[in-house]
Amino acid sequence: MKEKYLLLLGLVAVVAVTFFYTSSNMINAQLDDIAGIDRVIRREQERLNSARVMDEELRQVSSVIDNTLIDEERRSFTAEEINSFVRTLAELADRHKIAVYSSAPRAVHAPGNLIEHQFSLDIMCTYVQLGRFLTEIEAMDHIIKVNTIDTNPVRGEGVGYQENDEIQTQYRVILELSAFKIIKEA
* Cβ–Cβ < 8 Å for 101, 124: yes
Predicted local distance difference test score (pLDDT) of residue 157: 54
The Cβ-side half-sphere exposure at 22, using a 13 Å CA radius, reads 6
Check pLDDT > 90 for residue 77: no
Domains of the chain by residue range: 1-70, 79-183
Spatial CB neighbours of 177, under 8 Å, sequence gap ≥ 6 = 118, 119, 120, 121, 137, 144, 145, 146, 147
At residue 166 the predicted structure's pLDDT band, cuts being 50, 70 and 90, is: low
Q: What's the pTM?
A: 0.62
Taking 80 as the threshold, does the pLDDT of residue 108 lie above it?
Answer: no
pLDDT of res. 73 = 67
Q: Average pLDDT for residues 108-114, to the nearest whole number?
A: 73
Condensed to tens digits (0 to 9), the pLDDT of residues 22-71 reads: 988 899 989 899 999 999 999 999 999 998 988 888 887 777 777 677 66
- 126 vs 71, higher pLDDT: 126
pLDDT class of 161 with cuts at 50, 70, 90: low
* CATH class of segment(s) 79-183: alpha beta
- 132 confidence band (pLDDT: 50, 70, 90): very high
DSSP string computed for the chain: -HHHHHHHHHHHHHHHHHHHHHHHHHHHHHHHHHHHHHHHHHHHHHHHHHHHHHHHHHHHHHHHHHHHEE-SS--S--HHHHHHHHHHHHHHHHHTT-EEEEEEEEEE--STTEEEEEEEEEEEE-HHHHHHHHHHHHTSSSEEEEEEEEEEEPPSTT-SEEETTEEEPPEEEEEEEEEEEEEPP-
